[in-house]
Amino acid sequence: MNKRVQLQDLGLKDYKETWDFQEKLFKEIIDLKIKNRREEESVDTPNYLIFVEHPHVYTLGKSGDISNLLVDEKALEEKGASFYKINRGGDITYHGPGQIVGYPILDLDNFFTDIHKYLRFLEEMVILTLADYGLKAERSKGETGVWLDVGTPFARKICALGVRASRWVTMHGFALNVNADLGYFDMMIPCGIKGKAVTSLNVELGKKEVDMNEVKERLLRHFSSLFEAELIKQKTEA
């Protein structure tokens, strides 16, 4: 079981380019697993964690409803935003500058073969990170992601989750609003959930801007602890 996770921070990068990069790593791991099984070898499968910020983009999961995007193609162009239908679970999500997007591409055979536990660990990583900033974040029953003030009229989402898995290999991941422009969320029904607000860490802390690198370091610390992983920083390849 290889618990080493190669970390790559891509900075600001186009969504489609990053998606293609994820697919490449995802396929390489699956191909290696098939080869191992066929040849009865025991070559370690690699694991990756990608951090990235995307230019403004809306993505719709395979079970999503396009009507949850509230604007047309022209309006998207005017706002400098793009749109993709993609192969993760979940409904519609926005990504943009000021948001930390994390794509763990893990072979769960190296950790545990339980997708429910995997999603809960990603949520817990964010919950613990927000606790470092004095915020009480939690899960909302039946709604994947991380929320504040659950069960009140002021419930608001701060982190979205959506993953894909095949042969216990994962891709896609989480999006944590740190210094996000919340106006872009008005152009959709976030995750298809009506009547719920969205927030960002800087808004909750009453700050103009929160140090993104500090948030990443805290996320990594909790990720490493929860998954009992050894993180190895890699040079950018995408």
Give Rg (Cα) of the chain.
18
Residue 51 labelled as part of a binding site: no
Residue 64 labelled as part of a binding site: no
Residue 37 labelled as part of a binding site: no
Residue ranges in the chain assigned as alpha helix (H): 15-39, 73-78, 115-132, 201-205, 212-227
Q: How many CA atoms lie within 13 A of 8 on its CB side?
A: 18
Residue 4 labelled as part of a binding site: no
Residue 173 labelled as part of a binding site: yes
Residue 72 labelled as part of a binding site: no
Residue 93 labelled as part of a binding site: yes
Tokens of 81: 């935003």
Contact 101, 52 (CB under 8 A): yes
Closest CA to 177 of 200, 202, 149: 200
Closest CA to 65 of 42, 39, 90: 90
**Catalytic annotation present for 191:** yes
The residue count for the chain: 238
Residue 205 labelled as part of a binding site: no
Residue 236 labelled as part of a binding site: no
Catalytic residue among 191, 198, 212, 215: 191
Residue 89 labelled as part of a binding site: yes
Tokens of 106: 């893990």
Residue whose structure tokens are 């950790």: 111
Residue 175 labelled as part of a binding site: yes
Tokens of 227: 């998954």
Residue 91 labelled as part of a binding site: yes
Cα–Cα–Cα angle for 137, 92, 80, rounded to 5 degrees:
105
Catalytic residues: 191
Residues annotated as binding site?
Answer: 88-95, 160-162, 173-175
Residues annotated as binding site for substrate?
Answer: 88-95, 160-162, 173-175
